[in-house]
Amino acid sequence: MFTLGCVDYQVERRPNIDSWTQPSRESGVDILWVVDNSCSMSEEQEQLSLHATSFVSFLSNAAVDFRLVVTTTDPDPKSLPFDYDPVTMTADTADLATVFAAAVEVGTEGDRDERGFDFALEALTEHADLRKGADLELVFFSDEDDYSEIGPIAFVNELQAMRQGKAIAVNAVVGDLPEGCASLLAAADAGVRYIDAQEESGGLRESICSADYAALLERIALKVLGLERRFALSEVPELDTLEVRVDDALIPNRERHGWVYDPGNNWVEFDGYAVPPPGSTVSLSYFPWLGDLNASGDTGEDSGVETP
């Protein structure tokens, strides 16, 4: 007589590994800042200049072929400071942060009817150092709306025609919708037309009334460099098993210069100097969450996922 028994087998769980390669701008990128030089822009220009390092430090360390130019909403020489001497900046520019900080101090003698779109197109046409074969990123920095003859959609179409086959984007550091904004550092009308161009082109929008210009300029730098900050996981993770690496280097889980997990979108978001550089490999290793994400009761474990 034979007795059949049960044999327990242990099944080894293996972690998920999601990986990506951070994009790089192989054809280089031209970056044009258009800074409002009307009479209300003194404090905002000062903040931009004071935090110039937050912008250029990312450019200097990214191994991207960039050319950086600054123009204004009224580039008439009579409207600019007496000793203003704009230059085309590159990764080889000595003391780049100081040069950029000086370049954005464009004074406050410009016309009150800011024509950012018109003079951006003029700068792109006249600057011989800018390249038709490079991607193009514009950054408008203004506390009022645009009063150019050309409209936002036509402006974006003109940029696309100038850089056929290349990526273009309009980024806007302007007053918030719908009625503008105010802070201890700035006050601004809504930048409606700038925001229209930003949305049409897929650019980044930031508030000129921000209390943290350093973080704002870091985000602008990452955008113009074409670097991704957010990476979506293929499954919901057990948070205590999630490890984030860039080129095999373990990245700390922290808000500043690290990464955080967003449960609502199921992605990891990098910050500051932790953002993966161009061409790097991003790897997320984790065990998938096996609980019921829709359970109303307490599972006894903290998945890190918000349940409805």
Rg, Å, the chain Cα set: 24
Closest CA to 236 of 307, 145, 144, 166: 307
Three state DSSP letters for 71-94: EECCCCHHHCCCCCCCCCECCCCC
pTM, to two decimals: 0.83
Ramachandran class of 279: left when φ > 0, alpha when ψ lies in -120 to 50, beta otherwise = left
Cα–Cα distances (Å) from 203 to 52, 95, 127, 144, 258, in that order, read: 20, 28, 22, 19, 24
Which residue ranges make up each domain of the chain? 9-23+228-308, 29-224
Cα 270 to the center of its chain, rounded Å: 12
- Please provide the CATH number assigned to the domain covering 29-224: 3.40.50.410
Residue 164: other Cβ atoms inside 10 A: 9
pLDDT truncated to tens, each residue of the chain (308 aa)? 555 555 566 667 789 999 999 988 888 999 999 999 999 999 999 999 999 999 999 998 888 999 999 999 998 888 888 777 778 999 999 999 999 999 999 999 999 889 999 999 999 998 889 999 999 999 999 999 999 999 999 999 999 999 999 999 999 999 999 999 999 989 999 999 999 999 999 999 999 999 999 999 999 999 999 999 999 999 999 999 999 999 999 999 999 999 999 999 999 999 988 999 999 999 999 999 987 666 544 444 444 444 33
C-alpha–C-alpha distance, residues 186 and 173, integer Å: 12
Give the whole-angstrom CA distance, residue 37 versus residue 219: 23
**Cis ω on the peptide bond leading into residue 178 (within 30° of 0)?**
yes
Q: Is residue 187 within 8 Å of residue 181, measured between CB atoms? A: yes
